[in-house]
Amino acid sequence: MTLSHRPLRSALYIPGSKPRALEKARNLPTDSIIFDLEDAVSAESKSEARVILRAALAQGGYGARLKIVRINALNTPWGEADLQALDGLDVDAVLLPKVNSAGDLDALANVVGAKWPLWAMLETPLGILNAGEIAAHPLLQALVAGTNDLAKDLKCQLTLTRDSLQMALQALVLAARAHDVALLDGVYNQFQDEEGLIAQCRQGRSLGFDGKTLIHPAQLSAANRCFAPSADEIELAQRQISAFEEAEAAGQGVAVLDGTIIENLHIETARKTLAMAQAIAAMQTE
């Protein structure tokens, strides 16, 4: 259940209890919206949030943005009620928090069947250790890193460079790529620190993440830029493809461009780069 055909540069959390935020989200330049019924909503507001979110989703108007709903865990008093509130609505996926094993996804699938693709939030040590089996679940479409909760459980310092989380982040990348599911990086808490956000987005992209989860609209521009192919990357991809096609026409299996060997594996990456650039451009015109 791949999402490789569409941009996932930015995924903005929007509290399901905030009508004004839900309204503004219809016009924000985010690739995905994670409508949050979990951490962003107090226990006292859970019921009201379901009503507010259901009305907003029924009204629609979110365009090409992916609409993901983060429910409460099924072992809480609210999880199943969250799912019932989504019945009949145009939702692209359900995000389950604190997934520790594939069994947690089985439990969710037993409730919803194949009604929606599943997203899994990995934010516990056990979830990271079981990332491979979680990513292999047949209904799973994406993994989401929950770096705040993970750092809390690990009792480690969550610094800008995230040195203490590198093993966990790389485990997520390995699991996602082994099973062809999408992968979103954790949030950056200092929403007014654009320089720090850019540094962390670049780190995430370098590690292999598809995009970043965000907590504030002010973070959208930086994430969208960092996780999109740059003009230089697009130009290089075009030149690589041209050079390789010329080499193939001459009966050669490899090409040389700027003193670098270009093989078929580089062309596969180049074509994915151009396809993503085209998908971003198409989304911006919708």
Instruction: Kindly state whether residues 26 and 54 are assigned to the same domain.
Output: yes
Q: What letters, b where the CB count within 10 A reaches 16 and e where it falls short, cover 176-215?
A: beebebbbbbbbbeeeeeeeebbbbbebbbeeebbbbbbb
Any domain includes 2: no
pTM of the model: 0.95
Any domain includes 138: yes
Task: State the average pLDDT over residues 234-250.
Answer: 95
For the cut 90, the answer to whether the pLDDT of residue 286 exceeds it is: no
Any domain includes 133: yes
Instruction: Kindly state whether residues 109 and 246 are assigned to the same domain.
Output: no
Instruction: Kindly state whether residues 260 and 162 are assigned to the same domain.
Output: no
Task: For residues 108 and 118, give the distance between their C-alpha atoms in angstroms, rounded to a whole number.
Answer: 9
Q: Are 142 and 3 in contact (CB under 8 A)?
A: yes
Instruction: Kindly state whether residues 164 and 238 are assigned to the same domain.
Output: no
Domain range enclosing 78: 10-226
Any domain includes 1: no
CATH code assigned at 51:
3.20.20.60
Q: What tens digit of pLDDT does each residue of 49-85 get?
A: 999 999 999 999 999 999 999 999 999 999 999 999 9
Instruction: Kindly state whether residues 251 and 157 are assigned to the same domain.
Output: no
Task: State the average pLDDT over residues 131-160.
Answer: 97
Instruction: Kindly state whether residues 103 and 48 are assigned to the same domain.
Output: yes
Task: Count how many domains the chain has.
Answer: 2
Task: For residues 35 and 43, give the distance between their C-alpha atoms in angstroms, rounded to a whole number.
Answer: 16
Instruction: Kindly state whether residues 279 and 151 are assigned to the same domain.
Output: no
Instruction: Kindly state whether residues 166 and 46 are assigned to the same domain.
Output: yes
Any domain includes 69: yes
Task: Determine the pLDDT at residue 1.
Answer: 47
Instruction: Kindly state whether residues 181 and 264 are assigned to the same domain.
Output: no
Instruction: Kindly state whether residues 166 and 272 are assigned to the same domain.
Output: no
Any domain includes 5: no
Any domain includes 85: yes
Q: What tens digit of pLDDT does each residue of 7-37 get?
A: 999 999 999 999 999 999 999 999 999 999 9
Any domain includes 4: no
Q: What tens digit of pLDDT does each residue of 216-237 get?
A: 999 999 999 999 999 999 999 9
Give residue 277's Cα distance to chain centre. Answer: 17
Beta bridge partners of residue 255, listed in sequence order: 262
For the cut 90, the answer to whether the pLDDT of residue 256 exceeds it is: yes
Instruction: Kindly state whether residues 58 and 126 are assigned to the same domain.
Output: yes
Task: State the average pLDDT over residues 195-199.
Answer: 98
Instruction: Kindly state whether residues 128 and 270 are assigned to the same domain.
Output: no
